[in-house]
Chains A and B, each alone.
Chain A
Amino acid sequence: MAGPGVRIEEIEGEQLLGALAALLAAKGIVTPAEITAQIAATDTASPAQGARMVAKAWTDPAYRVLMLADGTRAAESLGIPMRGAPPLGVLEDTAGLHHLVVCTLCSCYPRAVLGYPPFWYKSAAYRARAVRDPRGVLAEWGTVLAPEVRLRIVDSTADYRWMVLPLRPPGTAGWSEERLASLVRETDMIGVTLPEVPGG
């Protein structure tokens, strides 16, 4: 895209970043301190945030209603920072319906509540297969749905970000919210796995 002066396709990413960051700093556009602060802010988001929401929805019917109606407000009500984040939508799994989230066009992901997207989520194989061979994709995680369960694949193409509210696994009656949250994994909230009780 650049003219004869700089052929950016011939420059290593590391070198490009170093030069661009130095240049932006020298011009007062982006300082190294801002980059450092942004990394720190981004690192605070992790699947533990989404897991807290899921566990609360499993134990608090009013919160479940809020979470399904407005994921952003539900996240904020637990102190999860959502300012500047795209609206969060929550997909409710039921006994007869399972959700699987993918972004076939790029890698849209509910980062505010799950953190950075995992490597596999961004891979060409996942992006290509999830919409067309979803049960084959689930099988790679060892996930097999009951025969009567329908599958809804959610292609995240635009302004929302989507997370799955999975079914509460059996064998967890009476568990505290905290203990329930410890069960919920990143993969459960994208829909490639189902929450399970270890050894259960």
Chain B
Amino acid sequence: MAGVAVMSVPGGRVAAGSRVRVRDNWPETRGKVHIRTPHYLRGQVGTVVRHLGDFPNPEELAFARPAQILPLYHVVFEQPVIWREGRAGDQLLVEVFGSWLDPA
């Protein structure tokens, strides 16, 4: 898959507090894939809460292919921005792989 993880910190990790945008990418429209980035986050801007660790890419594991080890982040999003409804201050906290994030 295309892309390089966002790298704004030595060692390739995104620092807590960084603003990131989830890629507006729709691989499921182009063939058989397995994706762990929910549809409702694509293109949305959030804030990195912390780096959760590094894990093999599930998009590869799902097809028993060699899997790249990717950084996994906990990213927080404002809930009403995503749905255009809801309560101000409510948030969504989601694990997102670095390969899906660009600096915002």
Contacts and interface: CB of A to CB of B under 8 A. Distances in A.
A and B in direct contact, judged by CB atoms within 8 A: yes
Interface of A: 87, 89, 91, 99, 104-105, 131-132, 134-135, 150-160
Contacts of B83: 132
Contacts of A105: 36, 38
Given A158-B36, A158-B58, A153 B95 contact: no
Given A154-B92, A157-B38, 5 more contacts: A131-B79, A134-B90, A151-B90, A153-B79, A153-B93
Contact of B91 (A153, A158, A160): A153
Interface residues of B, number: 24
> Top 9 A-B pairs ranked by shortest CB distance?
A158-B95, A150-B89, A159-B55, A151-B90, A155-B94, A154-B93, A152-B91, A157-B95, A157-B36
A159 B87 CA distance: 29
Given A104-B38, A131-B40, A156 B95 contact: yes
Contacts, number: 69
Nearest to A156: B95
B57 to A, nearest CB: 10
A76 B53 CA distance: 20
Contacts of B91: 150-153
Interface in B48-104: 52-53, 55, 58, 72, 76, 79, 83, 85-87, 89-97
B37 interface: yes
Contacts of B93: 91, 99, 152-155
A135 B72 contact: no
Contacts of A99: 93
B38 A158 contact: no
